[in-house]
């Protein structure tokens, strides 16, 4: 439905008028990772797509590209990229990570593979991937509009109000269908939050994050093993490092905002150096610009967003972080958003472009899964900062891997279900993981598996347990 001409005449700054018949099929708020991939999918179906992004074009020299934090690309995301033929281009620029390496305060390292041989995730640059997807969307025919900040959404009149950089007044743009892919602080969701029977919650962690860098060694080689995600677990906080193709590592310090130690208490250059010398000594010697980066780089927050419903009628929809922002500790935020796009595309086929069915069913299908991965991501923060340094936890993971080797069709570890099995929905993986926890608790009590790992006694205990184990949900 196009708004009436009276609405159009009341806005002299309108970009589109109510009488025009050339509105795009879809208008997307936000040209981030999910919005750009969605534009590619829609264009391949022949829909006209306009995208509005508040940042400058990050592909231009000197433009701010947004957050630089590296992302972990895994099977769900790869599957979505594969459907539009861009997976290999992206993987060529990614760094495969086969497992995680934990660093103790004494410099001792422990390695834990992510999955079976041949299973790995990829470290990819958020900015680089976003630019790749933007360019692909433009090549497919989508129209991108930069430095356009949405200040108001007006669904009754199907109009958005935009402020353009350096322009003193806002202008309005009419649309046919509007999809909010504009992140955790979505303008479309802001409107929906003020509508009847819309449920919304946001939950901030008491921790924030700050990015740091480990440069290459003097000979240009990697300073750490490049096929791992490196973790310095320290109980209530941690630091991680992901490899880059230029032989640097992007480090992220996850640290409390308040208390001691915290971002609020650690501000003096000498205190910063002393703290890292005590807690991350093997990393400190690899970070010549640590103090400068720590003081210069911003501290960002970590939020989980949940809401429902994700649609308003058949012409307004939330997708990606706009609908379900999560914390990054399972490496699934981007992968989950890309899976949104793939599921939405499947529903277009299933319902033959009947948007009255597609929009509500999309939210109904995805909500349980995005809630599940939100819960898993929070739980994994505790695992990464604390449990990965625990010998009992590491033994438990070794035993789970052995069970998977012996019973591959009956036991898939939770991490593998989430990361390497896009055919298993997140909420099913979560339910199966809870069942496995109960089963593993019982097994761990049946012997001294530190001493007897890999012995017939342990394999017999596993076999007895598997006689009654049922992974079905």
> What band does 350 get if pLDDT is binned at 50, 70 and 90?
very high
Q: Is the pLDDT of residue 6 over 60?
A: no
pLDDT digits (tens, 9 = 90+) for 232-254: 999 999 999 999 999 999 999 99
Place of tokens 């807690």: 279
- Calculate mean pLDDT across residues 37-53: 98
- The answer, yes or no, to whether residue 385 has pLDDT greater than 50, is yes
Residue 262 has φ and ψ, to the nearest 5°, of -165, 175
Whether omega for the bond prior to residue 283 falls within 30 degrees of 0, making it cis, is no
Give this prediction's pTM. 0.92
pLDDT of 21: 64
Q: Would the CA dihedral through 388, 392, 397, 398 be positive or negative? A: positive
The answer to whether residues 332 and 326 touch, using CB atoms and an 8 Å cutoff, is yes
State the average pLDDT for the chain: 92
pLDDT in tens, 265-284: 999 999 999 999 999 999 99
Residue 5 in this model has a pLDDT that exceeds 50: no
Q: Please determine, for residue 196, whether its predicted confidence score (pLDDT) is greater than 80.
A: yes
Nearest to 217 by CA among 191, 249, 258, 194: 249
Residue predicted with more confidence, 88 or 66:
88
pLDDT band at 106 (very low <50, low <70, confident <90, very high): very high
Q: According to the per-residue pLDDT averaged within each range, which of 105-109, 338-342, 450-454 is highest?
A: 338-342
Given a cut of 90, is residue 69 above it in pLDDT?
no
Q: Quick check: 327 and 378 in contact, CB under 8 A? A: yes
| Residue located via tokens 């919304």 | 200
What percent of the chain shows pLDDT beyond 90?
Answer: 86
Instruction: Name the pLDDT band for 175 (thresholds 50, 70, 90).
Output: very high
pLDDT in tens, 107-140: 999 999 999 889 999 999 999 999 999 999 999 9
State the Cα–Cα distance between residues 62 and 181, nearest whole angstrom.
25
pLDDT > 70: percent of the chain: 93
Q: Which CATH superfamily is domain 5-100+123-201+303-379 in?
A: FAD/NAD(P)-binding domain (3.50.50.60)
- Over residues 329-348, the mean pLDDT reads 97
**Using the 8-state DSSP alphabet, how is residue 118 labeled?**
T
Q: 9 falls in which pLDDT band (50, 70, 90)?
A: very low
φ and ψ of 65, to 5 deg: -90, 5
Q: Which two tokens stand for residue 141?
A: 């025919």
For residue 167, what pLDDT band results from cuts at 50, 70 and 90? confident
């Amino acid at each position: 439905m196009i708004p009436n001409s009276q609405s159009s005449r009341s806005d002299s700054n309108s970009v589109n008028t109510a009488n025009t018949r050339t509105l795009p099929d879809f208008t997307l708020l936000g040209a981030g990772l999910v919005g750009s991939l969605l534009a590619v999918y829609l264009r391949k179906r022949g829909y006209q797509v306009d995208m509005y992004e508040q940042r400058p074009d990050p592909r231009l020299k000197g433009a701010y590209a947004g957050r630089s934090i590296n992302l972990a690309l895994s099977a769900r995301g790869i599957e979505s990229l594969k459907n539009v033929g861009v997976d290999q281009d992206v993987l060529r620029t990614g760094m495969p990570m086969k497992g995680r390496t934990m660093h103790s305060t004494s410099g001792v390292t422990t390695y834990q593979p992510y999955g079976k041989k041949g299973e790995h995730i990829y470290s990819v640059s958020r900015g680089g991937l976003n630019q790749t997807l933007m360019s692909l969307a433009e090549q497919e025919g989508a129209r991108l509009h930069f430095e356009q900040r949405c200040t108001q959404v007006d669904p009754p009149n199907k109009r958005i109000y935009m402020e353009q950089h350096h322009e003193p007044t806002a202008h309005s743009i009419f649309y046919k269908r509007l999809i909010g892919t504009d992140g955790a602080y979505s303008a479309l969701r802001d409107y929906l939050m003020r509508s009847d029977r819309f449920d919304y919650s946001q939950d901030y962690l008491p921790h924030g994050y700050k990015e740091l860098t480990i440069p290459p060694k003097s000979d240009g080689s990697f300073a750490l093993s490049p096929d791992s995600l490196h973790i310095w677990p320290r109980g209530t906080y941690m630091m991680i490092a992901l490899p880059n193709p230029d032989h640097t590592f992007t480090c992220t310090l996850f640290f409390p905002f308040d208390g001691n130690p915290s971002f609020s208490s650690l501000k003096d250059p000498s205190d910063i150096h002393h703290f890292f010398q005590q807690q991350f000594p093997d990393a400190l010697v690899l970070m010549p610009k640590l103090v400068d980066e720590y003081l210069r780089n911003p501290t960002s927050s970590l939020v989980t967003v949940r809401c429902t419903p994700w649609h308003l009628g058949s012409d307004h929809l939330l997708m990606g972080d706009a609908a379900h922002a999560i914390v990054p500790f399972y490496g699934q935020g981007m992968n989950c958003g890309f899976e949104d796009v793939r599921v939405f595309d499947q529903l277009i086929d299933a319902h033959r472009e009947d948007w009255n069915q597609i929009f509500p069913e999309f939210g109904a299908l995805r909500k349980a899964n995005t809630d599940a991965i939100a819960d898993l991501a929070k739980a994994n923060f505790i695992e990464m900062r604390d449990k990965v340094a625990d010998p009992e936890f590491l033994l438990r993971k070794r035993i789970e891997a052995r069970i998977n080797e012996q019973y591959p069709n009956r036991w898939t570890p939770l991490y593998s279900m989430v990361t390497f099995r896009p055919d298993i929905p997140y909420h099913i993986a979560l339910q199966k993981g809870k069942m496995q926890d109960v089963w593993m608790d019982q097994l761990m009590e049946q012997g001294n598996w530190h001493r007897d790992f890999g012995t017939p006694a342990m394999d017999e205990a596993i076999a007895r347990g598997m006689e009654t184990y049922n992974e079905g949900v």
